[in-house]
Amino acid sequence: MIGIDVQRIDSHILDSYVLDSYVLDSYVLDSYVLDTLMRDLVGHDRKPTSFLVYLWLWAEQSKDNSPVGRSYQEIAESVGISKSSAQAAITWLLRRKLLAVTRVSVTATPSYRVLTPWQRPTPQRPTPQRAS
């Protein structure tokens, strides 16, 4: 049995994923993902599998903060959807610029990087130089 305890602070905190009394992980999820992106992908675009694939890729990427190298079949099995649904979801997320993909060669397994275009990078202030 999987227990999910969801709390809302400044961002959504998905905490205490418990499977057979093992704590698997804790994730801090930007409120935009549940408040806006879910509604946009599921309601407006009518692509609920795209949302599930986005969440799964995001969780995989957050484990070691590196791109996720998985085939369509591996993604499909992990999310619980068909391979063609995984392919359609990836295509949609790439079109929406929510994912970036890199391939070493045409036949290599791609690596996906989850993008968060709603988060603007914080500008770095130049450090003041001291006169010598």
Provide the 3-class DSSP secondary structure of residue 76. Answer: helix
- In this prediction, residue 21 carries a pLDDT of 37
- In this prediction, residue 111 carries a pLDDT of 95
24-52, pLDDT tens digit by residue? Answer: 466 777 788 888 888 888 988 899 999 99
Give the strand order in the sheet containing 68-69.
68-69, 111-114, 99-102
Single-letter code of the amino acid located at 80: G
- In this prediction, residue 97 carries a pLDDT of 94
Strand runs labelled E in 20-95: 22-23, 27-29, 68-69
What class has domain 31-114?
Answer: mainly alpha
Buried b or exposed e, range 80-89, using 16+ CB within 10 angstroms: ebeeebbbbb
Q: What residues in the chain have per-residue pLDDT under 70?
A: 1-26, 122-132
Contact by Cβ (8 Å): 57, 68: yes
